Amino acid sequence: MNMCMIQKITQKALITNSEGKILAIRRTETAPSHPLCWDMPGGACEFGEDPKTAMTREVKEEAGISCPSLVLFHVVSHINGETQWITLGWAGAINDQDVSLSYEHDEFRWVTVQEFLELQSWETIYELIKKKFMVNANV
C-alpha cells in the first residue's frame, strides 16, 4: 500500500473580552473548509515558526486585535483521510479593542460559552471551548 501520510499543525485562539464573552468569527462562503461556520482566530503554524508568535500573528491578521497574553491550554488531534490535524488551543483575554476582520471572515460576535456551542461550527472548535470552560454538554 502506497500511502502519502501528512501531518499538519494548526492553531486556534479562544479570545475573551472584559465581559468574559468569546470572540466568534464566521468563515466566508468561499472558505476552503467549513464555509459559513463559526470559528476562532487561527491558522497554520509554518515550518520553523514559533507557535506563540504564529498564533499572535494570526489573531492580528484575522481579527485586527493584539493579544499578548496567549497561553496554550489544549491540543486536539484527529485524522481526516491521510492527514493528521493537530490543533493547538490558545486562550487569551483582551480589554476593549475594535475587531477588524480579514477577507477570510464576514461577521463576528462576542458570545457566551453556551451561545458559541449553539452556533454552526465543527467538533475541534466545540472541543476547545468545552475543554477551556469544562463544559460537558453534548453538541
Q: Within a domain: residue 1?
A: no
Residue 138 lies in a domain: no
Bridge pairing between strands 42-44 and 71-80 = unpaired
**Can you give the pLDDT at residue 139?**
44
Confirm whether 139 is domain-assigned: no
3-class DSSP state of 51: helix
Model pLDDT for residues 10-20, shown as the tens digit of each residue: 999 999 999 99
**What are 65-109's pLDDT values in tens digits?**
999 999 999 999 999 889 999 999 999 999 988 999 999 999 999
How far is CA 40 from its chain centroid? 3
Q: Which three cell numbers stand for residue 90?
A: 490558545
| Per-residue pLDDT at 46 | 84
Total count of domains within the chain? 1
Q: How confident is the model at residue 4 (pLDDT cuts 50, 70, 90)?
A: confident
Which residue range is the domain that position 52 belongs to? Answer: 6-133
Model-wide pTM > 0.85? yes
Residue written as cell 470552560?
133
Q: What is the CATH number of the domain that holds 34?
A: 3.90.79.10
